[in-house]
Amino acid sequence: MPEFLRNLNPATIPYHGWVGFSMNHKTIDGVYHCLDFYWQGPMEYCSGMYHHFLLRDVSEPTDFYRSQQYTRIGYKAIQDDPAPQYPRRQRHSNM
């Protein structure tokens, strides 16, 4: 997976993604739930559109980077949380 992502987007590192257990698919051995993996490249950042992959040979979200057997599902819309809004610092005048 790291080589795939690097070759797909060599100048930058995809920096926004989600990974979780797939409720519809099992790992190759049929024992565990495999993983759904969603990521955004710089062109999709904050668009709500993600590249969706099914990682078929790992079953722990923290091991997503170890996957060697994956299937590209396509695009998926996921509603992102709104971007944080930080309060602006008020200027004080001494007049």
Q: Write the pLDDT tens digit of every residue in 32-69.
A: 889 999 888 777 777 888 889 999 999 888 888 889 99
What dihedral do alpha carbons 55, 61, 62, 66 form, nearest 10°?
-10
Q: Which residues lie across from 18 on neighbouring strands?
A: 38
Question: What is this structure's pTM?
Answer: 0.65
What are the extents of the domains in the chain? Answer: 2-77
pLDDT of residue 17: 79
pLDDT of residue 69: 92
- How many degrees, rounded to 5, is the angle at CA 76 between CA 74 and CA 82? 150
pLDDT of residue 54: 93
Pairing of strands 16-26, 49-55: unpaired
Report which of residues 28 and 79 the model is more confident about: 28
What dihedral do alpha carbons 47, 79, 10, 69 form, nearest 10°?
-150
Confidence at 24, pLDDT banded by 50, 70, 90: confident
